[in-house]
Structure 1
Amino acid sequence: MSLKWLDWAKRIQSLSQSGLTFSKDAFDLERFEELRKISVEIMEEHTGAEMQKIKELFANEKGYQTPKMDVRGAVFQRGKILMVCENSDNKWSLPGGFCDIGLSPGENIAKEIQEESGYIVVPTKVLALLDMNKHPHPPQPFHYYKLFIQCEIVGGAAKTGIETKAVEFFPENGLPELSLNRNIDSQLSLLFEFERNPTKETVFD
């Protein structure tokens, strides 16, 4: 859920990035760079992440800052949902990731699912568009929207990818330990509602 210190740090980062993008005055640029440094220090103090890593994340951001889009695939088979085990934390998530420039949301999720699980899919329905700040994910340095798209398998077979170490289908009452940066219990429960009720309307918040 939203934390005040995190909201402040993100806001400072966003304003400093916009200032560095649009300001022409050398003194203003120095001030905006100092603001960005302060946002990095806040993140380091409260998250425990290394300052250099946070600096690299923020330094790579250019232009006017907007929320990042994380797309996740909901693939059901005989009442179970497809999940992959992440190499990074040995926990499980819906296949997906950040949207790549040049690809539509549907193209992005089809690519991610094939790369991470081996299955070839066709996107069929947008199930939910959620603001990560309104759900109990661990604190993150950026503001994310999470897009959940239901997909149908049309080919391929279970196969791990560069970022994954296992591929499996799980029932709602037997979910594995979740990678909470990527998905949480309440979101999985929401997706199973769509499996039980295909006419359920898209959820957004």
Structure 2
Amino acid sequence: MEPKWLDWAKQLQSIAQAGLAYSKDVYDLERFEEIRKLSVDILAQYTDLEKTIIKDLFASETGYATPKVDIRAVVFKDNKLLMVRETTDGKWSLPGGWADIGLTPSEVAVKEVKEESGFVVKAVKLLAVLDNKCHPHPPSAFHIYKVIIQCEIIGGQPTIGIETSEVKFFAENELPPLSTGRITKTQIELAFKYLKNPQEPVYFD
């Protein structure tokens, strides 16, 4: 679903990053720097981002390039889904964020729910492992895997966090405007599918 130019830019960046990490020959290093520059130029051409920002966010990592991991929590109460309003764009998402070094996926889900919504939960089931490129997210410079984990409320009360301005439960037919960089309508529908059919197998890709 993602545009071909974005796929090319990410592949070039990945090749350059690995080459810069493992090559020893000075001429090869120069070539890989040129490849990295091409990836930055492609993004700059097709987005509104400045080259300096692209270099800082997209072309500054070292070592072998791997996908980033986004953890999202699905929490139901009275057949309604917990969602939080993001302060960055004023739209709604499932609680979650980037995976943290040293924490398991379920620990990240529990932490993010507490920080963004105020609820204390326990992780109970892996629902899906998704590749963002297969879903209708807006273009992103990063290759992202999304891990969706179902959690149950065991305490706490609705409380906004540093990154959230509102906490609310929504029925499937009353969804608010979504922060599609984080979650999509089809992914929300997938969450409700598991609510109706708990025996559904884990969804992937």
Contact 1:120 1:154 in 2 (8 A): yes
Report how many aligned residue pairs link the two structures.
205
Indicate whether 1:9 and 2:9 are aligned: yes
Match of 1:120 in 2: 120
Match of 2:186 in 1: 186
| Deviation sequence 1:77-134 (CA, Å, 0-9, x none) | 0011011111111110000011011000000111111111111110000001111111
> Deviation of residue 58 (structure 1)?
2.7
Secondary structure of the residue aligned to 1:178 is: coil
Please give the alpha-carbon distance, in whole angstroms, between the structure 2 residues aligned to 1:47 and 1:172: 33
Match of 2:66 in 1: 66
Indicate whether 1:147 and 2:147 are aligned: yes
| Deviation sequence 1:35-59 (CA, Å, 0-9, x none) | 1111111111112122211110134
Please give the alpha-carbon distance, in whole angstroms, between the structure 1 residues aligned to 2:56 and 2:154: 39
Please give the alpha-carbon distance, in whole angstroms, between the structure 1 residues aligned to 2:38 and 2:59: 13
Indicate whether 1:177 and 2:169 are aligned: no
Extract structure 1 runs of 4+ deviating beyond 3 A: none
Please report the TM-score for the alignment, with normalisation by the length of structure 2: 0.97
Please report the TM-score for the alignment, with normalisation by the length of structure 1: 0.97
Secondary structure of the residue aligned to 1:138 is: coil
Contact 1:84 1:92 in 2 (8 A): yes
Contact 1:9 1:39 in 2 (8 A): yes
Contact 1:16 1:36 in 2 (8 A): yes
> Deviation of residue 60 (structure 1)?
3.5
Contact 1:47 1:139 in 2 (8 A): no
User: What is the root-mean-square deviation of aligned Cα atoms in Å?
Assistant: 0.9
Match of 1:195 in 2: 195
Secondary structure of the residue aligned to 1:45 is: helix
Moved more, 36-45 or 168-177: 36-45
Gaps in structure 2 of 5+ consecutive residues: none
Match of 1:36 in 2: 36
Gaps in structure 1 of 5+ consecutive residues: none
Match of 1:163 in 2: 163
Match of 1:101 in 2: 101
Aligned residue type for 1:38:
L
Please give the alpha-carbon distance, in whole angstroms, between the structure 2 residues aligned to 1:159 and 1:177: 20
